[in-house]
Amino acid sequence: MRLHIKNGRLVDPATGKDGPGDLYIDEGKIVERVTSPQRTIDAKGLVVAPGFIDLSARLREPGFEYKATLESELDAAVAGGVTSLACPPDTDPPLDEPGLVDMLRRRALSLERARVYPVGALTTKLEGKALTEMAELAEAGCVAFSQANAPLADTQVLWRALQYAATFGFAVWLRAEDAWLAKGGVAHDGEVATRLGLPGIPGFAETIALSTILELARATGARVHVCRLSTAGAVELVRRAKAERLPVSCDVGIHHVHLCDMDLGYFDANCRLEPPLRSQRDRDALSRALADGTIDCLCSDHTPVDDDGKHLPFAEAEPGATGLELLLPLALKWGRARELSLAATLERITCRPARVLGVAAGSLAPGAPADLALFDPAAALRVTPEALKSQGKNTPFAGYELQGRVRVTVVAGNVVYEG
Amino acid sequence: MQRNPQLNAAGELQHLLSIEGLPREVLLQILDTAESFAGVTEREVKKVPILRGKSVFNLFFEPSTRTRTTFEIAAKRLSADVINLNIAVSSQSKGESLLDTVANLSAMQADIFVVRHASSGAPYLIARHVKPHEHVVNAGDGRHAHPTQGLLDLFTIRHYKKDFSRLIVAVVGDVLHSRVARSLIHGLTTLGAPEVRVIGPQTLLPSGVESLGVRVFHDMRAGLKDCDVVVMLRLQSERMGGALLPSAQEYFKNYGLTGEKLRLARPDAIVMHPGPMNRGVEIDSTVADGPHSVILPQVTFGIAVRMAVMSIVAGN
Amino acid sequence: MKLPDAEKLCEQLAAELKPRLGPKSAMIGLYTGGAWLAERLHAMLALAEPLGLMDIAFYRDDYHAQGLHHDPKRTRIPFDVNGRDLLLVDDVLYTGRTVRAAMNELFDYGRPASISLVVLADRGGRELPICAQHCGARVEVPAGMRLRLNRLAGGKLALALEPERAA
């Protein structure tokens, strides 16, 4: 498809360029010029940016089709301007077999929506004991290996897993949480949990685990990406590790830069998240760290949960929130609060996650894949769960007035969403 | 910020879920109304007709005989019909969901749900889903709140001490796991008690407990000095022998209430306990049965307080 | 408009009641106005049995519409109701609903031999078949107003008119 996108405001986070211009697409790539476009899109009043890259979005297939399907969630992704996403291995069965990974990739490809990059299980069945066939899984299409939210049996397994991954140069994505210190906890261990009578997960459950991970990364040389930071303490540890030039990267979820444990209110199960929403001080540290680059990128951690899973007392509710369609407006809200330029804000959801994923994306340069999001940064968006395309209606932002609506999404040169 | 789900648009109590967040006037209204119910037991017909024709459903997801019985007595003294539902929740057989259970009972014309549940916040979930004329009374949710116990404790303290504004109150024991402690602390701070102390080992005190407005003591003798009211919390046997506490003997030695330790409090101090007591673990028998103890009157007052709560919410 | 002197009506009622008292007589006043009146009459008549005071909050027929009224007082009846000739005392008789509630409450205490209603003022407007055996005066009350008994400093009783409070 030869496309001409005219009159748009081109924002290229890779270069920082932000100005009016036209864009041309041919054979799935951005090109200098197209003489006879098959379609012209008038992007007047819209920002034309690379499509967003989300490092964590649960598609719920295989195994959890009653919560969501590839169709509904990839529809949600492109409606949110997300053109590439990585899905965690905690499906049912978990992504620990090349056959499963292959099937998932093929199915996602056939739907011709966003690009799906599976993250493979680090251990078989995610039980945290025995390593998976990482080389086989990589060949089937896994971009990294992870335990999702499941713990490892002990530090021996962590050490060996990092050594093995380092052997092949594979990236290991880990959530830093000490399983014993976190045991039984459902909320941040602090004043709010004390008032609400909820078992707490102390902040040091994250920092202790992160210290262990960083020490082992240093010892093995493995490439580690730390998922969903939640504490100010973890930010400090990452800062020091980066100063030391350790090959470590990290991300934070959209909920943790905006919300804190006070938002639990009267036991709102939509705020039941992993990791938990922590104190205001933690939230502010995370928000600043994302701005100064200590935290590399922002992701949605999209986790659709059905009503049955959320209409339960807080501690019994399933953790997670829907988020693919809120990634852009919440990123913009964060960027405005930190007084960053649009290009700098979009970097956190385009070229930086692309770098972590190891894919050539997040750029508007000629030759780059034609994955684009055309959006109106000022358009009002009232978060209405029923109106979301995702089957997951579970969001703590219900009723919020945000800004930023995607109007057109292009993947591999094809228009996959128009709204 | 959401509106307090306990109060209706006119600021009247429609559900009793927690003492926290209730204005002083509402707490006093409940205590004053309980006062007028206290005389009902002295009559020939120990009933008033106020809830005649109303149905009170006791929904106990956590087993309890004492609390359930007092709610039943209170409801019957208000002439209500009482239906008891003991729903054992086992992790293996996940039966009907909490909300489905409530919806089914709604269909049977319930007016008041008295709910006890092991998970903090469960009554809030129920209150969000009941019909406008249905009222929820929290009989204890997880570690969060046990508001009627807190109220009867306040009633007891007011009965013996009259004025909250001069009291030093000590709450001793497993505050970490105690909904009774949380409710009482909120009530005392709302009604103006100048000093509320919590006494216990660090393992049994929750994070940031000072933010509830209390002074923390690890040394019981220091904590009991000059107290007007001593509230002993029950220590569950499950807490023993694990990583929280080594043994009942060591606990009793350091945190059990004996006559000797009680002498550090004021000579007219009262001793309270929500029950059931573990004699020899948190409290010595001589103290439990002694002249300072008001543990049995607490139980009697509990009926009047629960009558007050039900008649106030059902009328709003 | 001129209201009758409450103190004079009290004396009048006491004079009317005195010859009718017997060994089984006892008096109960209804909070708040009826209680003040009953305290005065009880003293004037020098009754043997102590005075009973009653709050009808839990027997009202408007609970479902209005809920529980604030600050109910504690009913105290320090004698056995069974077999008594009760003098039920209230300040103003109007619809009759208060008296209906009081009688229901009384019967939960026991079975009296008889109940006589004693009121300071009757303003008419009955909605139930209730009447006073002893009444101080009939008083016309203009629309939108209510008739109240007040106890002034020094204990003096006085009738007053005030605007009807919105419920």
Helix (H) or strand (E) holding A212: helix A204-220
> Which pLDDT tens digit goes with each residue over C26-52?
999 999 999 999 999 999 999 999 999
The residue that leads in pLDDT, A208 or B109, is A208
What phi, psi does C63 have (nearest 5°)? -60, -40
- Which residues numbered 103-122 in C keep a CB inside 8 Å of some CB on B? 104-105, 107-110
Alpha-carbon distance of C58 to B78, in angstroms, equals: 9
| A164-196 burial code (b ≥16 CB/10 A, e <16) | bbbeeebbbbbbbbbeebbeebbbbbbbbbbbb
Burial of A84 (0-12, 13-18, 19+ CB in 10 A): buried
The pLDDT of residue C13:
95
> Which pLDDT tens digit goes with each residue over B129-158?
999 899 999 999 999 999 999 999 999 999
Would you place residue B93 in the very low, low, confident or very high pLDDT band (cuts 50, 70, 90)?
very low
The size of chain B, in residues, is: 316
Contact B50 C63 (CB under 8 A): yes
- Partners of residue A191 in chain B, C-beta under 8 Å: 207-208, 211
CA distances for A94 relative to A98, A147, A313, A409, B122, angstroms: 11, 10, 27, 30, 32
Q: Is B303 helix (H, G, I), strand (E, B) or coil?
A: helix
The HSE-up count of residue C121 (CA atoms within 13 Å, CB side) is 23
The HSE-up count of residue C101 (CA atoms within 13 Å, CB side) is 21
Q: Is the peptide bond before A319 cis (omega within 30 degrees of 0)?
A: no
Contact B144 A198 (CB under 8 A): yes
* Residue B280 pLDDT > 70: yes
ipTM of the complex: 0.90
A75 part of the active site: no
Q: What is the largest CA-CA distance in chain A?
A: 67
Contact C59 B49 (CB under 8 A): yes
Minimal Cα distance from B50: which residue of C? C58
Would you place residue C1 in the very low, low, confident or very high pLDDT band (cuts 50, 70, 90)?
low
The pLDDT of residue B282:
94
What tokens were used for C145? Answer: 């107003």
The pLDDT of residue B91:
35
Would you place residue B87 in the very low, low, confident or very high pLDDT band (cuts 50, 70, 90)?
confident
User: Is C75 within 8 Å of chain B by CB?
Assistant: yes
Among residues A90, A178, A296, A301, which one is catalytic?
Answer: A301
Angle among Cα A291, A293, A297 to the nearest 5 degrees reads: 85
Q: Is A406 helix (H, G, I), strand (E, B) or coil?
A: strand
CB A58 within 8 A of CB A303: yes
Contact B315 C110 (CB under 8 A): no
What is the rounded average pLDDT of the residues C83-89? 96
* Residue B94 pLDDT > 70: no
CA distances for B246 relative to B240, B276, B315, angstroms: 6, 22, 49
Count other C-beta atoms under 10 Å from residue A5's C-beta. Answer: 25
Would you place residue B65 in the very low, low, confident or very high pLDDT band (cuts 50, 70, 90)?
confident
Contact A314 B182 (CB under 8 A): no
Instruction: Name residue B299's beta-bridge partners.
Output: none
The pLDDT of residue B151:
98
| CB contact set of A171 (below 8 Å; sequence gap of 6+) | A143, A144, A145, A165, A223, A224, A225, A356, A358
Strands (E), A192-286: 200-201, 223-227, 248-253
Question: Which is nearest to B228 in space by CA: B278, B273, B271?
Answer: B271
Give the global pTM.
Answer: 0.89
Contact A266 B2 (CB under 8 A): yes
The residue that leads in pLDDT, A328 or B11, is A328
The size of chain A, in residues, is: 419
Residues of chain A with pLDDT under 50: none
- Which residues numbered 11-40 in B keep a CB inside 8 Å of some CB on C? 12, 29, 32-33, 35-36, 38-39
Question: Which is nearest to A289 in space by CA: A239, A326, A253?
Answer: A239
Pick B36's closest partner by Cβ from C73, C81, C109. C73
User: Is C63 within 8 Å of chain B by CB?
Assistant: yes
Angle among Cα B99, A324, A48 to the nearest 5 degrees reads: 155
The pLDDT of residue B92:
34
